Amino acid sequence: MSMVTHEKTADQTVEENRVAGSVGAFLFALAGGAIYFALWQVGYVAAISGLIAVVCAMKGYELFAKKESRFGIIISVVMSVLVISIAWYLCLSLDVYQAYQEWYEAGEVDSAISFGDAVRNAYLFLSDPKIARSYLLNLAFGIALCALGCISPIRAALRRTKKTANAQPEAAPTASADAAQNDTFASEDFNYDTGDRNDTDGQNNTGSPRE
């Protein structure tokens, strides 16, 4: 029981590295962005991408920061939205790239463009109100689905952090009680040793006159 308490206390006293945790959250959230990008190619925008992004981001934050916290939950959500937005822009860029390929094959443009050129210039197509409305609505819809998918894991993480925070004040009294118990055992051992020495001295004192 004491060993379990000491392990919990050690986990609670670990210093949180927010910078490393933020990096971990972003890297792990890329899994959700990859799923968003893949589903876009088959015509779907699903909440599962946001769910995976948030769950992976929270795990990445915990691994890199060495601790789970409310700040970690918030930054994980922010990183998930950022990754989904990046994935959305890459989807727009891919559409621009494929459109130029079709236009080039049809003889409508003089040359095709690379995907890198599409990434650098895709935002220019948002100046067209019709295109902007369609893509921005898809982005808003995707983030809304992500938010719905994130509710359950966020609630679970908040419950865990709240439970950890409530358990933290109980760790100090337990450690003090263990220390007091160890002192009591040490005192008893000392008394036993003193008693043994007294008995030995008594035997020596009574034995000397006989000699």
189, 90 contact by CB (below 8 A): no
pTM: 0.69
Q: Judge whether residue 188 has pLDDT over 70.
A: no
Q: What is the pLDDT of residues 15-33, one digit of tens each?
A: 899 999 999 999 999 999 9
Distance CA 25, CA 56 (A): 7
Put residue 16 in one of left, alpha, beta given phi > 0 → left and psi -120 to 50 → alpha. beta
Q: Judge whether residue 58 has pLDDT over 50.
A: yes
Instruction: With CA atoms as reference, report the closest residue to 141 among 39, 60, 5.
Output: 39
60, 29 contact by CB (below 8 A): yes
Q: What percent of the chain has pLDDT over 90?
A: 41
Q: What percent of the chain has pLDDT over 70?
A: 73
Q: Judge whether residue 107 has pLDDT over 80.
A: yes
